[in-house]
Structure 1
Amino acid sequence: MDADRTAVRERAEAVLRRLAGESARLREDQWRAIEALVVDRRRVLCVQRTGWGKSAVYFVATALLRDRDSGVDLARPEVAGPTVIVSPLLALMRNQVESAARAGIRARTINSANLDEWDEITAEIRAGAVDVLLISPERLNNPDFRDTVLPQLAATTGLLVVDEAHCVSDWGHDFRPDYRRLRTFLGRLPEGTPVLATTATANARVTADVAEQLGTEPVDPAARRPDVLVLRGSLDRESLRLGVLDLPGPAHRLAWLADHLDELPGSGIVYTLTVAAAAETTEFLRSRGYPVAAYTGQAEDADRRAAEQDLLDNKIKALVATSALGMGFDKPDLGFVVHLGAPPSPIAYYQQVGRAGRAVAHAEVLLLPGVEDAAIWRYFASLAFPPEEQVRTVLAALHTDRPLSTQALEPIVDLRRARLELMLKVLDVDGAVRRVRGGWLATGEPWTYDEARLRRVAAARTAEQQAMREYATTPGCRLRYLRECLDDADAADCGRCDRCADPLFPAVVSDAALTAAQTFLGRPGVQIPPKKLWPTGLDAVGVPLKGRIAPTEQALPGRAVGRLSDLGWGGRLRGLVGPEAVDAPVPDDVVAAVVEVLKAWAHGDDPWPRRPVGVVAVGSRHRPRLVGSLAERIATVGRLPLLGQVTPAEGPGATGPRGNSAQRVRALHGAFTVAGELAEAVGGLDGPVLLVDDLVDSGWTMTLVARELRRAGAPDVLPLALAVAG
């Protein structure tokens, strides 16, 4: 038997050389994992640092299992079925397909971006022409895929690979409910099907949780529970030099990049916490002459592909990215990672910086934290699992003969769509609901709201945020701190970071760069797009609105000073309209910004069709002094009549933020009336009304008030606000 294993290792080394070059040799734990998978048919969890070679393990194992002449298992001379890799991001899939080709492995992917190829790929799988199939975790519960493709795929899978396996655990920093569906897939696998789970970012609790789930009981009660081999290595990254720069504000951070980006080695990634910050940073760096590109989850797939390729080809200095690139990019010679704003946990931070320095002697890793980081963390934390009452409301609604779509559920439960979809996925994994064609149905299975566990997870998230604050201020080694957060028993001082050695980069910026950044961030003005469609399902809650909003009842495109998430105006605006803001008259500097917005609106590239002839305020119960004074100042500066204000009727439903569009419209429908002197004044106008408010969140308040003004006779309505949420 030892001779057989020696022969298998020799063949494994040969495959690795095809994959990584003639000088490549298997690490000892790489061989242990391959041996366990292809010889012993075990389940393996690899917790190893980025760049260690986890992908080499499953590609080598695949080549051996798919090779009829490999001699891996004389008792099973048949060729194993395809390896199925569950991978979280399209970018990661593209990298893996290319890597597989280098080793002579035929890889295909089924995802939302290649729907027209699904039938062809499925036929290739049946014909045995596919060695590796990459799918997203979301695909596991696509009704067609789950019911027609998945059963046969599970029965014929030669090796199952769960990439970025920390996503399986809700203790992990990037928990994804769809990953939990792997338990069902695991249970369907024939006994003896090897399974490999890989991650670079799992502390002891996440490792134990993932290992336990890999050992899920098989469907056949007579089959034994699989044992799991856990291979956990050192998380040291010898090539990384970590540092933190404490700068006063967003303008200083952008100015620092403008001064020092060229000094950073090679090409790299600049991470931001929000889509808006990625767009602003990209635009500013381009204005300073840097070849950079933006990469966010909101970009078109073709644009993301082009940006990835430009970085791979070193055509640009940096990708300015959100966490959409966190797990999904493989460029071994990446020379730097800079964060404008801190991720909410040291574990997430370690994973993102791990993209750098995989095949270069050294790479620079810099964190530029901001005071606004905590507010952004709080926003993302607000998307957590909802209270039990809301969950029970959804379950009750789904006890029906026909499925309900997510859109149809929105008028029933007051949750934003992203949060509602997350809840439904968790309920699906728990067996309480099932996704079918047309939406969701309740299964009727008993379900318990695990409030204690949710509280523990929330507490863990809070602790992670505090740990990230402490990382920025720790007097000790920064890499050691990260490794200890990941429960690395071998954590030690690195000798390279800005705590162990002298800082390489100063926290100073040039006057020219700072002035340019301040000017750039000080530019006010963002567009408020008009609503053109009513939310679906309103008739179910007694609101007689559906389909397109009549053109005669729509607002025109509007303007705001900025977004709450903007690097420039975001902080100033949060101080005026945030949840802890004190109501007060609008400050002079903000009025000046509003005037600049109006000037650009009148004379810019996309001007208003006609100059407004009057001002109307949206009555506010929370900030009446702010909104009232803003309307008065605009009327005075513009020499326009202040026609009055539209205030919602009394009642709790008409005020306050709502979770989703359907709930917001339900609460506001019929709440506004334009009558008396205001109706008379509006009806006699020969031009647009300028409709003034403090904050546009969902956009439905402006939409419904504009509708009432149009119905009262206003020729057009131009919305103007201080801020736009998001």
Structure 2
Amino acid sequence: MTATREQAQALLEQLAGPDATLRDDQWTAIEALVVQRRRALVVQRTGWGKSAVYFIAAKLLRAEGRGPTVIVSPLLALMRNQVQSAARAGVRAATINSSNVTDWNDVHRDVASGDLDVLLVSPERLNNPDFRDEVLPALARDAGLVVIDEAHCVSDWGHDFRPDYRRIRTLVAELGSDIPVLATTATANDRVVADVSSQLGVGGGDTLVLRGGLDRESLRLAVVKVGNPAQRAAWLAEHITDLPGSGIVYTLTVAQANDVAAMLAERGHAVHAYTGATETSEREQLENDLLANRVKALVATSALGMGFDKPDLGFVVHLGAPASPIAYYQQVGRAGRSTDSAEVVLLPGAEDREVWRYFASVAFPSEPMVRNVIDALEPERPQSTPALEPLVDLNRTRLEMVLKVLDVDGAVRRVKGGWISTGQPWSYDEERYRRLEEARQREQQAMLDYLDTDECRMVFLRRQLNDPELIDGERCGRCDNCTGAHYESTVDESAAEAARERLMRPGVEISPRRQWPSGLAKLGVNLSGKISDGPGPGRAIGRLTDLGWGARLRAVLDGPDAEAPDDLVRAAVAVLAAWNWETRPTSVMGLDSARHPVLIASLVAKLADLGRLTDLGTLRYSVERRPVTAANSAYRVAGLSGSWEPPELPPLDGPVLLVDDLTDTGWTLTMAARTVRQAGAPEVLPFAIAAVS
């Protein structure tokens, strides 16, 4: 190869502007890939210019007649940024992901004809049967370069492990010996670096490892301990206009993002919510609004995380702490990439640890559950994920994760029509999962230590990432601990009360289940298709994850069983008063409960009295009823079938309000509503004290 540093410099100027200068270590990486055809692992801070390395390398390789560069990229927002960046350097790039299905055939054609320089693919595409069997072999044979962006996702020791990413090692193993491989990330400690190197086969003696310092000279880190959720929201509403430029406000849950965005918008701030539940087209518009400074902030979950590139992002605020310093460093890295100064503020909450515990509870399941998945599959007859659900006690999300891991491990294989077993032996790495849990516990404690430390905050984060350039005694000179300049943590009482009233405004819609889970016949339940005899739309006072009602609802449901407190009753009445139902309920009934019989019965009695409703008492459990703990929808429905004694109802001329303490999947209220309707109720409207999410 004859590529020169001068050529690379010229391409960088096209990509980043005439004032851009190629760093020595960027050229080292480019030369290793283009001239020496080596494999490289680049661990460098956000803003260092990792994308410049692979776009310049892609262009130089194409100039030499090599095939297209394949970039495995994890997020749609990141892909959109990368395509736009590539175009600036004259790099012809396209993506294959879930948002552009209609373009896939055209993209495949452009790859085959050589009209593309760069193909960005989501990791999920790597095991799509058509792509894996028809497109991937040609790419593995003819690619000029393979790039694994955000490579920490390969490692389950990383803060954002994704099973689909582990399929990349299969792609890398099938590459020709002269096809270079580049793995890049900004957030990897020693353990993650070793794991990624091992899995991708880039850790051999001939591998180039470029690992630089992780200091971010523009970031001004601060922690502000304000108090309860309403006080933190009020603090944000009071200070957001003082923060420079536009930015991102991160929350831990979708519910929190929606609540905070609504509260800030009502206060006149130009903000919008951005979560994993946001439609793709709306996400693109919101990203463009932030890039063009048409909004002050997006209130986001981690869905707006890795790789989103707004060089002049002026601030990042966290309402609630992520579960690890590494995840926190990755998110704050969105700010200050081309500015002299950017504000980074963390407002932790006492409820953060409960959110951490919830996400930890849905980690990789136990060995017996995984064995059930393997045993349920056959070698010749593919089964879809919905068809597998009735056969194993796992919900859809966890089942898909197990299948992906087993696929990577060779025990199962995805084919057209679903999944098959391979018959290959498989062992459950219990020791690894135990060590993973221990590592998560240590990271959570480190995050708590970050909140209380009096040392330099940037140094603290760099140490967590094993920064090779960190010097003993070093301080950033910018964070609140270094400068002694702390944000005011007090909040105006009237502002806090206004925020509390907004966040404590009760009322969450419960959408009814409309379709029975497939495969119920296999479990002895004769139900299928659309649900015609279930409940109508319902309401809950709030979600357990709400910034407003969450803590209060958790206190009521976690405490001893007692009569419904007055504030809960008032909230229930307010929700009912605001409910725009087609027909007002004329009666009310409670669901039997092993944990909260007094709470539910007293709420039913008070609602009957205040709303002049007929008190139908309690829908009692049948003597054959057994507690249902299954997370899988089919198993839940089967377990709930026959759980209640058919009630004897008086003649009813209107809907029944059916009251429960907590709703999660919605199946309990669905099955209970069927029982009540079969006893003569014309309609059932569910009402829950709390929704899980």
Shorter-chain TM range is: over 0.9
Asked whether 1:540 is paired with 2:509, we answer: no
Query: Where does residue 612 of structure 1 map in the other structure?
Result: 585
Query: Where does residue 673 of structure 2 map in the other structure?
Result: 706
Flag structure 2 segments of 5+ consecutive residues without an equivalent. Answer: none
Task: Give the residue type in structure 2 aligned to 1:232.
Answer: R
Matched ranges for 1:159-308 at <5 A: 159-215=145-201, 227-308=206-287
Matched ranges for 1:201-600 at <5 A: 201-215=187-201, 227-399=206-378, 401-491=380-470, 492-550=474-532, 553-578=533-558, 581-600=559-578
Q: CA deviation at 1:340?
A: 0.5
Classify the secondary structure of the residue corresponding to 1:693: strand
Task: Give the residue type in structure 1 aligned to 2:669.
Answer: M
Q: CA deviation at 1:504?
A: 4.6
Q: CA deviation at 1:229?
A: 1.2
Matched ranges for 1:652-667 at <5 A: 654-667=626-639
State how far apart, in whole Å, the 1-side matches of 2:205 and 2:58 are.
20
Q: CA deviation at 1:156?
A: 0.7
State how far apart, in whole Å, the 2-side matches of 1:226 and 1:147 are.
32
Asked whether the equivalents of residues 15 and 85 of structure 2 are also in contact (C-alpha less than 8 Å), the reply is yes
Asked whether the equivalents of residues 685 and 714 of structure 1 are also in contact (C-alpha less than 8 Å), the reply is yes
Task: Give the residue type in structure 1 aligned to 2:691.
Answer: V
Asked whether the equivalents of residues 628 and 639 of structure 2 are also in contact (C-alpha less than 8 Å), the reply is no
Asked whether the equivalents of residues 215 and 228 of structure 1 are also in contact (C-alpha less than 8 Å), the reply is no
Asked whether the equivalents of residues 332 and 357 of structure 1 are also in contact (C-alpha less than 8 Å), the reply is yes
Query: Where does residue 621 of structure 2 map in the other structure?
Result: 648
Classify the secondary structure of the residue corresponding to 2:669: helix
State how far apart, in whole Å, the 1-side matches of 2:515 and 2:626 are.
21
Offset from partner CA, 1:18-51 (integer Å, 9 cap, x none) = 1111221111211111111011111000000000
State how far apart, in whole Å, the 2-side matches of 1:559 and 1:609 are.
14
Asked whether the equivalents of residues 376 and 392 of structure 2 are also in contact (C-alpha less than 8 Å), the reply is no
Q: CA deviation at 1:234?
A: 0.3
Q: CA deviation at 1:511?
A: 3.1
State the TM-score, normalizing by the size of structure 1. 0.93
Offset from partner CA, 1:143-162 (integer Å, 9 cap, x none) = 11111111111111100000
Asked whether the equivalents of residues 253 and 368 of structure 1 are also in contact (C-alpha less than 8 Å), the reply is yes
Classify the secondary structure of the residue corresponding to 1:479: helix
Offset from partner CA, 1:664-707 (integer Å, 9 cap, x none) = 10100122231xxx4242xx111111111111111111111111
Asked whether the equivalents of residues 187 and 216 of structure 1 are also in contact (C-alpha less than 8 Å), the reply is no
Task: Give the residue type in structure 2 aligned to 1:8.
Answer: T
Classify the secondary structure of the residue corresponding to 2:179: coil
Classify the secondary structure of the residue corresponding to 1:334: coil
Query: Where does residue 22 of structure 1 map in the other structure?
Result: 18
Query: Where does residue 66 of structure 2 map in the other structure?
Result: 80
2:648 corresponds to which of 661, 668, 679: 679
Query: Where does residue 44 of structure 2 map in the other structure?
Result: 48
Classify the secondary structure of the residue corresponding to 2:241: helix
Classify the secondary structure of the residue corresponding to 1:411: helix
Classify the secondary structure of the residue corresponding to 2:609: helix
State the TM-score, normalizing by the size of structure 2. 0.98
Asked whether 1:119 is paired with 2:91, we answer: no
Aligned length: 690
Query: Where does residue 221 of structure 1 map in the other structure?
Result: none
Task: Give the residue type in structure 2 aligned to 1:611.
Answer: R
Query: Where does residue 96 of structure 1 map in the other structure?
Result: 82
Classify the secondary structure of the residue corresponding to 1:410: helix
State how far apart, in whole Å, the 2-side matches of 1:228 and 1:398 are.
40
Offset from partner CA, 1:473-520 (integer Å, 9 cap, x none) = 111111110000001133331111010112252112223421220110
Task: Give the residue type in structure 2 aligned to 1:63.
Answer: K
* Bigger mean CA deviation after superposition, 715-724 or 310-319: 715-724
State how far apart, in whole Å, the 1-side matches of 2:206 and 2:442 are.
32
Q: CA deviation at 1:226?
A: 7.4
Offset from partner CA, 1:119-166 (integer Å, 9 cap, x none) = 111111111110000000111011111111111111111000000000
State how far apart, in whole Å, the 2-side matches of 1:503 and 1:706 are.
58
Task: Give the residue type in structure 1 aligned to 2:419.
Answer: W
Query: Where does residue 156 of structure 1 map in the other structure?
Result: 142
Asked whether the equivalents of residues 524 and 561 of structure 1 are also in contact (C-alpha less than 8 Å), the reply is yes
State how far apart, in whole Å, the 2-side matches of 1:656 and 1:172 are.
34
State how far apart, in whole Å, the 2-side matches of 1:447 and 1:583 are.
46
Classify the secondary structure of the residue corresponding to 1:598: helix
Q: CA deviation at 1:437?
A: 1.5
Task: Give the residue type in structure 2 aligned to 1:662.
Answer: A
Q: CA deviation at 1:593?
A: 0.8
Matched ranges for 1:120-139 at <5 A: 120-139=106-125
State how far apart, in whole Å, the 1-side matches of 2:62 and 2:37 are.
14
Where do 4+ consecutive residues of structure 1 move more than 6 Å? none
Q: CA deviation at 1:406?
A: 1.4
Q: CA deviation at 1:321?
A: 0.6
State how far apart, in whole Å, the 1-side matches of 2:613 and 2:114 are.
74
Task: Give the residue type in structure 1 aligned to 2:43.
Answer: V
Flag structure 1 segments of 5+ consecutive residues without an equivalent. Answer: 69-78, 218-224, 602-606
Q: CA deviation at 1:400?
A: 5.0
Asked whether the equivalents of residues 214 and 228 of structure 1 are also in contact (C-alpha less than 8 Å), the reply is no
Query: Where does residue 222 of structure 1 map in the other structure?
Result: none
Asked whether 1:623 is paired with 2:596, we answer: yes
State how far apart, in whole Å, the 1-side matches of 2:369 and 2:135 are.
34
Query: Where does residue 690 of structure 1 map in the other structure?
Result: 657
Asked whether the equivalents of residues 246 and 296 of structure 2 are also in contact (C-alpha less than 8 Å), the reply is yes
State how far apart, in whole Å, the 2-side matches of 1:307 and 1:216 are.
37
Query: Where does residue 13 of structure 1 map in the other structure?
Result: 9
* Bigger mean CA deviation after superposition, 231-240 or 398-407: 398-407
State how far apart, in whole Å, the 2-side matches of 1:654 and 1:691 are.
21
Q: CA deviation at 1:216?
A: 6.7
